[in-house]
Amino acid sequence: MSLPENIAKAEKYLGIMFNNKGLLFQALTHRSYSFEKDLPETNEKLEFLGDSILNLLVTEYIYHKFPELNEGDLAKLRANIVNANFLAEIAQELHIGECILMGKGAEQTGGRTRVSILGDALEAIIGALYLDQGMEATKEFVLKNFKSLIDERASLGQFGDPKTRLQELVMATYGNIPRYRTVEEYGPVHDRSFVVKVYINDQVWGQGVGKSKKKAEQGAAKEALKKLREKQ
């Protein structure tokens, strides 16, 4: 993918026109591409910067939006937002995977859909936007793309990850812990999908599908939590 095509496509998906296209190019440059093309920079420094900025903006938003939450719940809510799975979910909505520059090996092993690569690229884009247009533009972008999901998770009481919350609830209700079982795997080796069921007292309470067993388990836990809350 040529530089102009890569940048133009990313700007269209992001809804942002960068003044310094080089910053966006760097934000989308995975280390495998830099190694293959012998380039001096990757998106890792921008990802480091973007992670700090994202933490600040999310903290500021939830602090003012949810004054009823205590420090512990605010910390759990933030951790449930600024994490690889959440970031990858938003990155997928923005089609960032299509725009990442990566080496052939990384691409052939499913790099464009890998959670860590997508999340890191999104944080790098946030860092690049901050350097290019300042904090206000970055805040506008973050709130535009994160706000609805933050509000949804807060309204459902999703202050921790689903597996942790399910275990706490099952322990409190039944005095034991849920069990997870992988019931199906499908797809090519480089792009596997997993189907996981969660059992509570030997009964199925939820099922999840994901590109990793961990993600499928989180999906199963989320479904089980919903059913448990409806029952209470």
Q: Which residues are catalytic?
A: 51, 123
Structure tokens at 201: 């007292």
Burial of 109 (0-12, 13-18, 19+ CB in 10 A): middle
Nearest to 102 by CA among 81, 124, 84, 82: 124
8 A C-beta contact, residue 82 and residue 117: no
Burial of 21 (0-12, 13-18, 19+ CB in 10 A): middle
CA–CA distances in Å: residue 125 to residues 27, 113, 114: 5, 17, 17
CA–CA distances in Å: residue 54 to residues 11, 124, 208, 226: 19, 10, 28, 29
